[in-house]
Copies of this chain bind each other. A is one copy, B any other.
Amino acid sequence: MIIDCHGHYTTASPQHDAWRKSQLAAFREGRPSPEYPAISDDEIRESIEQNQLRLLRERGADMTIFSPRASAMAHHEGDERVSIEWARACNDLIARVVGLFPETFIGVCQLPQSPGAELKASVAELERCVQMGFVGCNLNPDPSGGWWTSPPLTDRYWYPVYEKMTELDVPAMVHVSASCNPVFHATGAHYINADTTAFMQFIQGDLFADFPDLRLVIPHGGGAVPYHWGRYRGLADMLSKPPLSEHVMKNVFFDTCVYHQPGIDLLFRVIEAGHVLFGSEMVGAVRGIDPETGHYFDDTKRYVDAAALTDAERVQVYSANARRVYPRLDQALRERGQ
């Protein structure tokens, strides 16, 4: 079984995006939000069958842990009320996808974060979504969208979410959204920077002493971290922290959203297979075909298949790690005999 831990609903019906636009326009003009539009099951089915489901089958994976489009979370837009409405709309749409394709998709939710706002609404939305069958959440370390005004992820500001995650036994993927700072290209700089930044915060802090069962997935292959693994081992040492294997890597996992073979090979050379979850972020940041290989850049299964892994390690990366990090996914699979 092959589980892709990182997929976003980037192909939702145009009405969904149009509603967001009108919601933000209403906010700016001080009007109440418009009513959410009717989207038929057939429209949802089509948007999935022609995209994620087709590619999943072509590439030979079985399941995707599926969440709302990351770049559209845009927590910096509107205010907390606007974020609450938008997160509910996005998560409800994910729930419908999962309802239509229960064997292929399982939900991860967007949180209604807002710059400077407390995380009560995020805790409530996480709880609501888990009751609907979701197995995790995406946590945005920078709801300001590139201005980085929130405290580090090790700050007590974030603890209410970590407490609820621990109680519900669900992990978070640390995932920023769009950048409204012109220096940061969203998928080319902001995403990767956020991954690197989060990892370094975990080295500096001592978050996992307070939350020994917390599990966080750092996407995009861990940002710059595996490439600079020596730097991070050395910085942990300079900061008088325990080795990374003890201090951070009991709780942190990387995905395989690294879009070329040498990068994936490096990832597995420095990070134990037990800490890497298969992911592609398909259909996502990089949609083209690599002229050097003739295959999609984001067809990461090809790279993982070609990596120097034992059969047992490949099972870890393709499914066992995901089932361990997302125990509610494991439970759902067991309940249907998988």
Contacts and interface: CB of A to CB of B under 8 A. Distances in A.
Interface of A: 141-142, 146-148, 150-152, 181-185, 187-189, 192-193, 196-197, 200-201, 203-204, 220-221, 223-224, 226-235, 237-238, 258-260, 262-263, 265-266, 269-270, 285-288, 290-292, 297-298
Given A233-B292, A234-B298, A260-B270, 15 more contacts: A142-B183, A147-B148, A148-B183, A151-B183, A185-B235, A187-B231, A188-B231, A189-B201, A192-B224, A193-B197, A220-B231, A229-B260, A235-B285, A235-B286, A265-B266
Nearest to A204: B185
A197 B189 contact: yes
Given A146-B148, A192-B196, A192-B224, A286 B231 contact: yes
Nearest to A194: B193
A196 B189 contact: yes
Contact of A263 (B182, B192, B220, B227): B227
Given A148-B181, A183-B152, A288-B238, A260 B189 contact: no
Q: How many copies of this chain sit in the oligomeric assembly?
A: 2
A27 to B, nearest CB: 26
Contacts of A233: 260, 290, 292, 297
Contacts of A189: 193, 196-197, 200-201
Contacts of A227: 221, 224, 226-227, 258, 263, 266
A243 to B, nearest CB: 8
A176 B28 CA distance: 37
